[in-house]
Amino acid sequence: MSESALSAKPANNRVSPPSLLRRYGSQLGIVGVGFVMWLAFVAAAPAVFTNIDIYKAFAQTTPQFGIIALSLTFVVITGEIDLSFPSIMALGTAVFCLVTAYAGIPWPIGLVAGLATGAVCGLLNGLLVAKLNIPSLVITIGTSFLFRGLELVLMNGTGVPLTADEYPALHTLLRENLLGVPVQSLWMVAILIVLWALLNRTRFGAHVFLVGDNPTSARLMGIDVVSVKTRAFILVGVTSVFCGLLTSIYGYYFWPTTGDGFLLNTIASVFLGGTSVFGGTGSVVGTFVASYIIGAINAGIVSAGINAFYTQLCFGLVIVISVVLQTIIERRIRRQSITGR
């Protein structure tokens, strides 16, 4: 069901290889896909993919959507989806700019205000979905327009420079390299570790899987389904604002259209990473690896001399194939559990 078994096993019991494959199958599968794709890119464009600069570029740009994908994994595991995070990216960053650039308040307070804005947006999404039982696919489309419209009204459709001269500390934290490694990638690794522990080593993480697997049974077990889903949406809201700042600092400017174009990459990373569209199963490690695969597709296609328009085609195939494979695997597992073979 998850990266960590929900059912406890005695410490002295050894796990058989088949059990390991079932337990870590999705992670091993996505690592294999990534390795095969990397070999294909190296063969098609050796001059590009044997140069360290291309990997530094991936390490700088992939976290801009990959961090959101890590938190979105929680929401998808609960059986829901959030399509409003690109607008939350813009709204939270806009609040940061209003507090710091317009009001002249120090940036740490602006950062807290921006992240709090993301938390409020996630709270609203979670309550509308979990409390009122509104389909998340529908309501997050609506809140996406709501958040984007609010951001455009607040900023009057204008942007704000976020240069290193005005925000030196933020550029050090979110843009500069640390020991030659892009700091964006280090942030993504750190957040991966935190979210992996949250998903696999806490009661909340266990409840996320149980709610996604069977919300009715979860309620009968005394789990607050509304709280679990709402907290998952809040997590997406907070990380969305963080990525909005990460993207804007990287580009030295906050644009009112911040977040546009991130939707497909983020969702593709979650599903390609082995998280089931039906809920109850997922892996932040798989999402992490899948994010870098998605980030490499565009560069790989262009470097191989293929028209860049094929990027969208590849992203679509990734989502369709991953969902189809998950459906086939889910049905086979259910059939085996019923027949016992």
Q: What is the pLDDT of residue 20?
A: 47
Q: What is the pLDDT of residue 234?
A: 98
DSSP for residue 16: P
Cβ(101)–Cβ(270) below 8 Å: no
Cβ(274)–Cβ(286) below 8 Å: yes
Angstrom CA distances, 303 to 33, 42, 49, 90, 300, stand at: 19, 10, 9, 31, 5
CA distance 338 to 287: 30
Q: Would you state the structure tokens that stand for residue 166, as one six-digit string?
A: 């005005």
Q: What is the pLDDT of residue 67?
A: 96
Reported pTM: 0.87
- 3-state secondary structure (DSSP) of residue 92: helix
- 3-state secondary structure (DSSP) of residue 168: helix
Angstrom CA distances, 148 to 38, 224, 248, stand at: 37, 31, 16
Give the HSE-up count for residue 240: Cα atoms under 13 Å, Cβ half-sphere.
34
Mean pLDDT in runs of 10 for the chain (341 residues)? 44 47 58 76 79 83 94 96 96 96 92 97 96 94 96 92 92 88 93 96 95 92 95 97 95 92 90 85 90 81 72 76 72 69 58
Q: What is the pLDDT of residue 327?
A: 73
Q: What is the pLDDT of residue 274?
A: 82
* Domain boundaries of the chain, sorted by first residue: 28-37+44-334
Q: What is the pLDDT of residue 64?
A: 93
**Per CATH, is 28-37+44-334 categorized as 1.10.287?**
no
